[in-house]
């Protein structure tokens, strides 16, 4: 099953997003937060992100979602540190909408490419119809 890692500067934000995603994909257990620093203060840590990716990897791939600039940089560093040992991709998607769709797709057994594709489609979601 495809795993998901949420990278945020804020532990509280990531945990909230995880809760929402799991509400929509009940029973799914393949999602981890790599958020904040070890003491739960604001920040990102490539080593913690790398460890979360390894933890959630079942061999089917891992989709990573990140919040802001340095979170993206830290996620990219973590992926580089894995040196290709895990099939992993940082999704170009909003973290909240992307996490919900990724969790739903992963929970129904969609393959990595489909989870990533549907997650990245959330960039096009319109919240207000004109």
pLDDT of residue 103: 98
Query: Distance between CA atoms of 92 and 95, rounded to whole angstroms?
Result: 9
- Tens digits of residue pLDDT in 18-47: 999 999 999 999 999 999 998 989 999 999
The active-site residue, picked from 1, 6, 7, 9, is 9
pTM of the model: 0.95
Instruction: Please classify residue 126 by burial: count the beta carbons closer than 10 Å to its beta carbon, then call 0-12 exposed, 13-18 middle and 19+ buried.
Output: exposed
Give the model's pLDDT for residue 130.
75
Which stretches of the chain drop beneath a pLDDT of 50?
A: none
Quick one: pLDDT at residue 14? 97
Question: pLDDT value at position 106?
Answer: 98
pLDDT of 127: 86
Quote the pLDDT of residue 98: 98
DSSP 8-state code for residue 45:
-
Domains in the chain (CATH in brackets) are: 3-124 (3.40.50.510)
**9 catalytic per annotation:** yes
What pLDDT is stored for residue 119 in this prediction?
A: 98
Query: Residue 48 contacts by C-beta under 8 Å, 6 or more apart in sequence?
Result: 34, 38
- The CA distance from 91 to 115, in Å, is 10
């Amino acid at each position: 099953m495809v795993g998901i890692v949420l990278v945020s500067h804020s532990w509280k934000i990531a945990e909230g997003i995880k809760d929402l995603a799991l509400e929509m994909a009940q029973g799914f257990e393949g999602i981890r937060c790599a958020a904040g620093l070890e003491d739960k203060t604001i920040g990102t840590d490539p080593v913690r992100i790398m460890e979360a990716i390894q933890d959630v990897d079942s061999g089917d791939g891992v989709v990573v979602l990140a919040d802001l600039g340095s979170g993206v940089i830290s996620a990219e560093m973590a992926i580089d540190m894995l040196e290709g040992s895990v099939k992993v991709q940082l999704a170009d998607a909003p973290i909240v909408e992307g996490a919900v769709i990724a969790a739903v797709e992963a929970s129904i057994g969609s393959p990595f490419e489909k989870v990533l594709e549907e997650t990245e489609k959330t960039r096009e979601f319109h919240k207000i119809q004109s």
